[in-house]
Amino acid sequence: MQIKDTAAIVTGGASGLGGAAAKALAAKGARVFAFDLAASIEKAEEIEGVTYVEADVTDGAALRTAVDQASSSDVPLRIVVNCAGIGPSARILSKNGTHDLDLFQKVVNINLVGTFNVMTLAAEAIANTEPLEDGQRGVVINTASVAAIEGQIGQIAYSASKGGVVGMTVPAARDLASQGIRVMTIAPGIIDTPMLATVSDEFRAGLASGVPFPKRLGRPDEYGQLAVDIVEHDYLNGDVIRLDGSLRMAPR
């Protein structure tokens, strides 16, 4: 599918994986609407072709307004990349007691329910566009994690939420096939995002040493490149692609 002269929604689009995806799609000629929270947008870099839109993926009404904005431009909405998410760490049982239920629900609500919410509202808008010659109307790319399969100690909430994203991939692709909308999921490994910016070089080197090859952390632009490849490759549908250098996460 051609990216140029289409509109794209990228959640979590002000930084990290979302920022990289927004930049990569804009470079290919898409009109990108980068959804994020106000605090993140304030710190985002200006990128030609990217419009930042304040939106909380857990707020259905506000999100519908944001999707309406993205779908009402003079080019058709055909691309959605879901990157918004959080990843706090807590064990089921620890010296502080049991895992906080509110925290578990918050992680699932943002990472899983938020992804479903954006996918659903955006798919509705994409379904109203004119189909391309092959009947295709668009593509949704969701973001899981290798933690969906090999969650580490303390990742119970994060792994559950990302496992849900993986689990949605096939049924979502089947649900939306009749509308000409493909659904794919990327499961990144250890990517050098702003979340790692505060850790020491020694700790970063330790993380990189666990990656079989290439023995380094992944780069956000590699996520953006893969997102572009998925959009342009029309026969990719209903599957999960690991972006991890063959990493298999240890228990801790």
Task: Give me the active site residues, please.
Answer: 158
Bridge partners of 185, per DSSP, are: 142, 240
Return d(Cα 144, Cα 250) in angstroms, integer. Answer: 18
Q: Is 129 helix (H, G, I), strand (E, B) or coil?
A: coil
* Residue 93 backbone zone (phi > 0: left; psi -120 to 50: alpha; other: beta): beta
Report in angstroms the alpha-carbon separations of 26 from 89, 181, 182, 228.
Answer: 33, 21, 20, 10
Going by their DSSP bridges, the two strands 93-94 and 97-98 should be labelled as antiparallel
* Cβ 145 vs Cβ 241: under 8 Å: no
- Looking at beta carbons, which pairs linking 193-197 to residues 24 or more positions away fall under 8 Å? 193/15, 193/16, 193/17, 193/220, 194/15, 194/16, 195/16, 195/87
Return d(Cα 98, Cα 107) in angstroms, integer. Answer: 16
